[in-house]
């Protein structure tokens, strides 16, 4: 029950001292698959799950012809948020799965059978996106795997979900914006829809603020605990900002000041720095004028 709740809420807490890597559990591949399905479902976001449920329900009714009127209507389509979230989640998981399997095949996955390697690679690809469980020894991960884990932790789960991070939609919008600029397009178009400018602005504000908070966290902990090493400290801050819960083993030995920094980073990461700024700054009234626009040299 504890692991079911913890997995769905992307908490990462475990009653086992070494999480799923605990002896007697690390080879329980069925348990690992169930946990993966649970925290991925929790990380998709409640609106996305409702939309998918409605879509599947309509498909089933259409297939079984329970309602004759359904045949005359176009099947329920997934909205733009659901499509972007699902495509981004599947793309990130599939890419991370391949890299994790290749990089850790003869390292942390060496003790497993081929089926076990596949399951653990999937677990390792999905858990950094705020789930927080680990089925391998985190301190033994290869350096490239740690770098990929940095990126996955930073991106995190989806909006309106139980997970943290900058969110998959933010990462997707930033990526689509880069592709649009490369193609010389002035707007972002996806699935026959145009992304609103306000969404693009929020995405890049979220990205910039997240890096600023994480950067300050790394600087402060480096000052308070310089002996912990930059890689370990950076991993701790990225994990804290996205409320992942993974660590390379330094959390318990951090000084009181560093733990306070981690607490603040976790709080800001979960609430969102953009939300905090919006709450603090006084709103200005809408002005019925516009200044002449000019382009600024970027590169």
Q: What is the mean pLDDT of residues 14-34?
A: 90
The pLDDT-based confidence of 101 (bands split at 50, 70, 90) is very high
- Give per-residue pLDDT as tens, 47-77: 888 888 888 887 777 777 655 555 555 555 6
Percent of the chain at pLDDT above 70? 95
- Give per-residue pLDDT as tens, 162-187: 888 899 999 999 999 999 988 888 88
- Give per-residue pLDDT as tens, 211-266: 999 999 999 999 999 999 899 999 999 999 998 988 888 888 999 999 999 999 99
pLDDT of residue 171: 93
**Which residue bears the tokens 């709740």?**
5
Best CA proximity match to 121, nearest among 110, 131, 109, 113: 109
The span from the CA of 208 to the CA of 240, in Å, is 17
The span from the CA of 130 to the CA of 96, in Å, is 14
What's the whole-model pTM score?
0.87
Structure token pair of residue 80 = 């733009």
Worst-scoring range by mean pLDDT, 35-39, 51-55, 134-138?
51-55
Best CA proximity match to 86, nearest among 240, 191, 192, 205: 191
Q: Under the phi-then-psi rule, with left for phi > 0, alpha for psi from -120 to 50, and beta for the rest, what region is 185?
A: beta
């Amino acid at each position: 029950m504890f692991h079911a709740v913890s997995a769905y809420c992307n908490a990462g807490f475990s009653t086992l001292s070494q999480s799923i890597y605990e002896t007697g559990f690390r080879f329980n591949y069925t348990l690992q698959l169930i946990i993966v399905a649970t925290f991925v479902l929790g990380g998709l976001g409640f609106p996305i799950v409702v939309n998918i449920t409605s879509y599947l329900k309509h498909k089933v009714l259409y297939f079984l012809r329970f309602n004759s009127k359904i045949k005359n209507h176009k099947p329920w389509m997934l909205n733009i948020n659901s499509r972007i979230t699902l495509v981004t989640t599947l793309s990130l998981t599939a890419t991370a799965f391949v890299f994790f399997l290749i990089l850790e095949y003869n390292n942390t996955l060496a003790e497993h059978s081929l089926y076990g390697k596949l399951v653990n690679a999937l677990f390792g690809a999905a858990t950094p996106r705020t789930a927080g469980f680990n089925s391998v020894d985190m301190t033994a991960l290869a350096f490239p795997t740690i770098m990929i884990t940095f990126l996955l932790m930073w991106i995190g789960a989806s909006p309106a979900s139980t997970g943290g991070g900058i969110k998959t939609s933010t990462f997707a919008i930033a990526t689509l914006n880069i592709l649009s600029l490369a193609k010389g397009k002035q707007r972002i178009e996806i699935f026959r829809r145009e992304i609103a400018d306000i969404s693009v602005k929020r995405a890049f504000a979220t990205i910039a603020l997240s890096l600023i908070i994480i950067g300050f966290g790394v600087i402060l902990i480096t000052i308070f605990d310089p002996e912990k090493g930059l890689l370990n400290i950076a991993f701790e801050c990225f994990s804290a900002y996205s409320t992942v819960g993974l660590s390379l083993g330094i959390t318990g030995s951090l000084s009181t000041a560093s733990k306070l920094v981690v607490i603040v980073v976790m709080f800001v990461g979960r609430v969102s720095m953009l939300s905090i700024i919006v709450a603090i700054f006084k709103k200005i009234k809408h002005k019925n004028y516009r200044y002449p626009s000019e382009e600024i040299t970027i590169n």
